[in-house]
Structure 1
Amino acid sequence: MANVGGYGVCHIFVIKEKYFENKKCPQGIYYMKSIRWKLVFMYLSLVFIVLILTGSIIIISTQTAEKNQIREELRQCAIYIDEQVIEQYDSRYFQESLENLSAISSSFQNVSGNIINPDGQTIASSSAKKNTEIPTFTSSAVIAALSGKDSFADSDRNVAADGSVTRMMSYAYPITNDDGTVRYVVFVRMDVEEMYTSIARTTRTIIVAMLIALAFTALLGLLFANTITAPIAVLTRKAKLMAKGRLEQKVAVKSDDEIGQLTRSFNTMARELKKSVSQMEEQRNKLEIVLMNMTDGVLAFDERGTLIHINRAAYDLIDIDDVKINLKWLLEKLDIDLTSLSPNTIYEKNIDDEENGRYISAAFIPYAVQKKMNGIIVVLHDITKHRQLDNMRQEFVANVSHEIGTPLTTIKGYTELLLDGAIDDQTVAVDFLKEINIAADRMKVLRDDLLDLSRFDTNVNKLNKEEVDLVELASGCVRQNIIVAENKKQKITFTPPNKVMLIYADVGRVNQVITNIMSNAMKYSDEGTTIEVKVIEKRTTYDLSIKDHGIGMPEEAIGRIFDRFYRVDKARSRAMGGNGLGLAIAKEIMDSHNGVIEVYSELGKGTTMVLRFPKSSIIRY
């Protein structure tokens, strides 16, 4: 392994499913992060240890058995020399006898026999040739035998004339006298080079067998590990897909073991997770729909003031552009200071948007997680209608007070005059009482109109509806008002169509509406003008139009003439006895008949009021 810049460059095999990744590390460490290869490594390690132990035992056992067999052969040879040479011959004939014995006995093919006297000198040797010097032995086995103990030597070496060295095993067998002293030592040696060569071949065979076994073990280990890791790899892949939002994952169960149980648990988890996410998504969608369709504006900002949610109403209420929305911008727009806002407080402020004619109530609600403020929710409530209703209420109270105050002042003034003595003058008293009566009538009319409106507001005003001819009804109203018109030197024109036009209505109430509109037409028209009344049939309605050529109305007043107590010309209306409730009552009556009042007017040229009634054949009320 080469060192570069003081660091060793090593291959780290990061095994994830089916790929390797080369990396650099400061030390040559082998990392294996895959369960598959960990299992294979453990399996190979276990088998390798077993094979090493088994091979070692076999080799040691074989070597031990071979050595024991050679030792036994050497012992037998030594005893044979003792019996056939030393016991049979004189020491002068030991050499010759030993040579003859080696020649005729098969036991001495690889064994050399030697006889040594008590002084350690070799007096006979089967390996000595004629005219050659008999070798001298200094083996530890010989030394031990000279002291009276037989001994083996497994590590002797024999150096040949050509310098080659041969491994030998030796055995020294002492032959003693009756008193225990050593007479001779029989020293036999055997060439064991072939044994060691055989053991080496056996060792090589065992090593080759171990390598083959390890190869097969690795293959089987991979197959075995794959049965465990393949389902895990599938589960990992499916889990990654689920992490990306694809929750419809399912893994086939192929076994009943722990992996199968894990797979079943994964499928159950995926199913429950999908169900939970679906429920959460459904709840989120519901909440989103609720927020988006709320009439109140809702904005949510995170702790950095970045907008994270806004609904449709918020856009409409403060006319904002989401490109530039943030909390700082909103606070500046609404002129609000939230520096003192804490997680447990709610800041509220009413905002008058005079430019757009709106009144908005803004509530700033901080939300916190573990006592740390994580953002602010802003709720905008349009209180324009409430303001308008409040203003209308105030105006209504003021108008009622004024309408009641005028006749009351008249009554009180004339009453005081009568009490002060005017009652004594019968003519004056009668005139005063007539004025008091007129003022009381005005108060009664006002009370009746207010009661009518109240009944319509509370839906307790009962209508006696029936099928009635609109043409006949209009003709009756014209006849009732024609005398009033003549007194003002005005003219009412009406040409009844030769057709029955049936509507489903309360005769009295419809007559009240027509009379009120005709009365207004005559009031606000000059002498010598004409009031035109027409009844026209449309596809689904019958339209009754009343057109005058009076003073008319400005365009901005048309949308308000049905408001209670509203008058275009207040001074003229009061002078003519109007209280501003007639058209409001007329609209309520038309609404209760599913009808419509339409107004067309031009200042200085006159006004046309159209009463549109549904046909009786179209609808029943």
Structure 2
Amino acid sequence: MFKSIRFKMITIYFLLVFIAMVIVGVFIIQQFEQYHLGVVKGNLTQIASSFMTTLEEIDWQNNKDEIQKNISPYEKMGMEIYVIEKNNDFTIISSTNLSYWNQNATYILDSDLILAGFHGEIKDIVSQQEGPRSSKDMVFPLYDEHSRITGIIYLRQNLEDIYRTLDQSKFILTRAIILALLITIVLGYFIAKSITGPINDVTIKAEKMAKGDFDQVVEVKSDDEIGQLASMFNHLTARLKAVLLEVSNEKKKMDTIINNMADGLIATTAEGKIIHANPVAIEMLKIDEKTLKKKSFDELFLPLNNKLTLNYLSTKEKWYGNETIDMQEGLKLRAKYAPIIREDDYLEGIVVLLQDITEYEKLENMRKEFVANVSHELKTPLTTIKSYTETLLDGAIEDKPLAKRFLDVVVSESDRMTRLVQDLLQLSNLDYKQGKWNKKEIDINDIVKNAVLKLEVSAKNKRQHFNYTICDDTVHVFADKDRIEQVILNILSNAIKYTAEEGQIEVQVELKNNFVQIIIKDNGIGIPKKDLPRIFERFYRVDKARSREMGGTGLGLSIAKQIVEAHEGSIKIFSEEEKQGTTVMITLPTVDEENLALS
């Protein structure tokens, strides 16, 4: 309460009025007292002048009885008059109080005032008698005809009435001051309330705003400074609410971006406390959110990479860089880190961006392997062609049978390189969607029949049994006839190559709902399970040496997959275990009249 501005204002008003009233009261009482004392002094002077004239007329020194006759009337006026003769004893020779006759005046009256009178001074004092009574005393010297002081007149006027009046006046002024102070307190309270009320309202609303409630409006009751304060508070509230809404929207945007970004993000303070981690980071690090909150930055990353710790990073000149993290199950992460620096260059914390580079590393390895495979595939026929050509140049060309055999080898290796280049060009066109498709409605039964007839001779040469079953009804697909036939021929060729003599190859065409399935099954050497996930990779061979001996480029299945997927279909290979055969399933969507019309 005593610290409130309302109490302070009331106190200031109270003190101002109190001091002002006290000053005014003291001034009025003093002036009132001086005025009445002046009046008494004037009366005493006038009486003394009149009495002195009387004394001069009666020759008072020789007619002392006559003095008493002239002094007696003044007794009724409530005034004391003493005539003191100049002698050694300052004897009172006449007085309105008969009991003081012929007594020494210095024992009864003020001796200093008597002496002053005998020194020719007209002097007055206010003397305090016994009890609360006081009086106005004055002396006037009496001169003889030779201007010598022969005596003095001592006058005394009782001031009891005057001081009673002054005391009454003081009492009235005191009551007036008390009443004025009470009124001041009441008025000060309302005045202070008119000022502090809006301020308290602003304070209460500001406190609610500090707690997060920004729907606060202060009522504007005037156009003065208080009203301007209320208006500015409302303006500030509106602006603050708008800014916070904007900040909240931006925060939501950032949270949405961070939580839905493909990379993981972790932020930590300079002390190592993790302040943010998006769901992707939690998933990448294989940790739950509760456990993450309990760990510090160093506890989280030290087991993964001893260079991803605050102690290690603090030894570096720059807080920028990246490290690699090898996780379980072959997952590999790249951790890029950067500092959070305030405007005063103080390190606030660190942000770590986690990127899953597992697929990137796999693609990079595949790219390197692809280059190595292409180089190897081209090197082998080139080396053969070069060696045979050099042999011919060295003289073997004279031996016609030998020269013809060497040239046949050169032509065979050239055809092999031609097939390789053609396959690479075809894959490149499929990758960049530059191939031209001649899609139209075709009967898949006819495609399968033609492919089987083209390879039937090759199968008979190995005494293999070819069994194929097609649908009784016509199955229409919207496809490029040559490309689909190329896929089937490739699968059938592989089946013939990797199936032993007198083996069996089955081809089936089945219609399921809106899809047709072409199933090619053999009882050949099969494919190991570990090689199945990579069977469609370019240049990938289960048995590289044997595949090259059989004339393959290692690109056939990759081309087949690209073609089938370009027709919105799928191709799958199943092989339970080695030497148990392989099953290839090609699925293509069929078309009806409605779909054909839309196409």
For the pair 1:302 / 2:269, whether they are aligned, the reply is yes
Structure 2 distance, partners of 1:352, 1:495, is 51
Structure 2 distance, partners of 1:92, 1:402, is 168
AA in 2 matched with 1:607? T
Q: Deviations for 1:303-361, whole angstroms, at most 9, x for unmatched residues?
A: 323333333343344445513342255235313282772353535444455x4323333
Unmatched tracts of structure 2, length 5 or more:
none
* Equivalent position SS for 2:534: coil
2:242 corresponding residue in structure 1: 275
Structure 1 distance, partners of 2:181, 2:595, is 98
Structure 2 distance, partners of 1:476, 1:95, is 179
* Equivalent position SS for 1:64: helix
Q: Deviations for 1:542-589, whole angstroms, at most 9, x for unmatched residues?
A: 332223333332223222111111122333322322221111001111
Preserved CA contact (<8 Å) 1:411 1:439: yes
1:484 corresponding residue in structure 2: 458
Within 5 A, what are the aligned runs for 1:75-154?
Answer: 75-82=45-52, 87=57, 91-94=63-66, 96-98=68-70, 100-102=72-74, 108-119=76-87, 120-128=90-98, 136=105, 137-139=108-110, 140-154=112-126
2:13 to 38, 43, 53: 43
Structure 2 distance, partners of 1:124, 1:340, is 116
Q: Deviations for 1:398-446, whole angstroms, at most 9, x for unmatched residues?
A: 2222222333333334434444444444444434333332222111111
Within 5 A, what are the aligned runs for 1:433-472?
Answer: 433-472=407-446
Structure 1 distance, partners of 2:46, 2:104, is 22
1:531 corresponding residue in structure 2: 505
AA in 2 matched with 1:458? Y
Residue 200 and residue 245 in structure 1: after superposition, are their counterparts in 2 closer, same or farther (change >3 A)? same
Structure 2 distance, partners of 1:123, 1:94, is 11
2:489 corresponding residue in structure 1: 515
Preserved CA contact (<8 Å) 1:343 1:372: no
For the pair 1:334 / 2:305, whether they are aligned, the reply is yes
* Equivalent position SS for 2:582: strand
Preserved CA contact (<8 Å) 1:531 1:547: yes
Unmatched tracts of structure 1, length 5 or more:
1-14, 16-31
1:610 to 580, 585, 591: 585
Preserved CA contact (<8 Å) 1:152 1:171: yes
Structure 2 distance, partners of 1:36, 1:532, is 104
Superposed CA RMSD: 3.0
For the pair 1:65 / 2:15, whether they are aligned, the reply is no
Offset at residue 98 of structure 1 (A): 3.8
Length-normalised TM-score, structure 2:
0.87
Residue 340 and residue 79 in structure 1: after superposition, are their counterparts in 2 closer, same or farther (change >3 A)? closer
For the pair 1:208 / 2:175, whether they are aligned, the reply is yes
1:360 corresponding residue in structure 2: 333
Offset at residue 448 of structure 1 (A): 0.5
Offset at residue 51 of structure 1 (A): 0.5
Structure 2 distance, partners of 1:452, 1:110, is 148
Offset at residue 185 of structure 1 (A): 3.2
Offset at residue 372 of structure 1 (A): 5.1
For the pair 1:601 / 2:575, whether they are aligned, the reply is yes
1:566 to 540, 543, 546: 540
Moved more, 359-368 or 387-396: 359-368
AA in 2 matched with 1:538? K
Structure 2 distance, partners of 1:290, 1:272, is 27
User: How many equivalent residue pairs?
Assistant: 580
* Equivalent position SS for 2:518: strand
Structure 1 distance, partners of 2:203, 2:554, is 80
2:138 to 171, 174, 184: 171
1:324 corresponding residue in structure 2: 295
Structure 2 distance, partners of 1:492, 1:84, is 180
AA in 2 matched with 1:61? Q
Preserved CA contact (<8 Å) 2:313 2:319: no
Preserved CA contact (<8 Å) 1:98 1:124: no
* Equivalent position SS for 2:256: helix
Structure 1 distance, partners of 2:407, 2:388, is 8
Q: Deviations for 1:193-239, whole angstroms, at most 9, x for unmatched residues?
A: 22212211221221222122112212211221122222222222233
Residue 506 and residue 150 in structure 1: after superposition, are their counterparts in 2 closer, same or farther (change >3 A)? same
AA in 2 matched with 1:307? I
Q: In percent, how many aligned pairs have the same letter?
A: 35
AA in 2 matched with 1:155? S
Offset at residue 447 of structure 1 (A): 0.7
* Equivalent position SS for 1:432: helix
